[in-house]
Structure 1
């Protein structure tokens, strides 16, 4: 994987995982249960929302097996892709290598990745499993990574944020949602899209049963 990474000043997989080992283990176990967890196609909301943007530097938060990162790279973006699961990153790097694409791979949690501030024209978080903290560290990290004039795109499954904590082991209060990002916006940001819409779900892959998306696209003014 190191051979596939461009030097960017951001630690990649060869530098060792940065983050909570328990989080890595949880996601490595999930990916190891299947040869392919996701559909292999880019998320529909990403394709729609990025269509009008000029390619630049993009941070793909929670890149999984790399479908979004590869789509972005093919459309001219300089991609940094971040993921906690080493299993997923190995698959993503293999797909990028097969496609002849250069992508920076970062093996870390968002809050431990030491990402240079204000350095990306687009930060994309598609259905992220980002844990909330009292200081809103994950939400602040998403916002901090966006360069002036750049865009933050956060997409999540509608309805999950209102589920009750006793529905299995999932407590929505533990995770970042578009609404928790909105709560931190100030006059430096302009909300361009904040809505629920039918999801353009790819066939197959985990999560295909979700029918609606929550889409938040905000632009950093300065």
Structure 2
């Protein structure tokens, strides 16, 4: 955990730096991937940038709605750098809606565009996991496993590292397979399935997160739903394609 990086007289907020660097890398990766699929990389970078910005705003506003009395008393808290004052599901939903509307209005081809976005999605998950590790957020349940990390005075499952490893595997899979013959959209679904499976498993060791009634983790419900949808698409659409 390294929430603050001291460089001489300057104290830099490490998670914020990680998110900024990750955002820049996402734009670079998506732009290059778009050109591989013969899409306009510069235009896609603009769309992704606006979607990321909308996601940050949506995550903060989503958290503010859940803690409305506190923000009414102190509106400037909306500009706090506290990473715990974000509601990631609201941010992801906002980014998807805004980005999706922009792509739909500009008539981008669905599956090739999603394939180009796939490495950016994996890199976004990796960036978020590393930022949480630096800040100490998203920590795991107490554990006695050899790879446990000491966080907040107790040895815990390194759930941030579990998420980072899942995202890294998804990113490597995209990198290895992106030039192989396959139907459009297959690579996006593969990356999404890996991320969803990792979330479904890894969140079982988390001590924090979005809880639904009955103490069911919302992230696991969403991950399971994504896996079911992906399997349905695989079984009904892609077997009809001959891509050897």
Task: Give the TM-score of the pair, scaled to structure 2.
Answer: 0.28
More helix by share: 2
Higher relative CO (Cα under 8 Å, sequence separation at least 6) belongs to 1
- Larger relative strand fraction: 1
What is the TM-score when the length of structure 1 is the normalising length?
A: 0.30
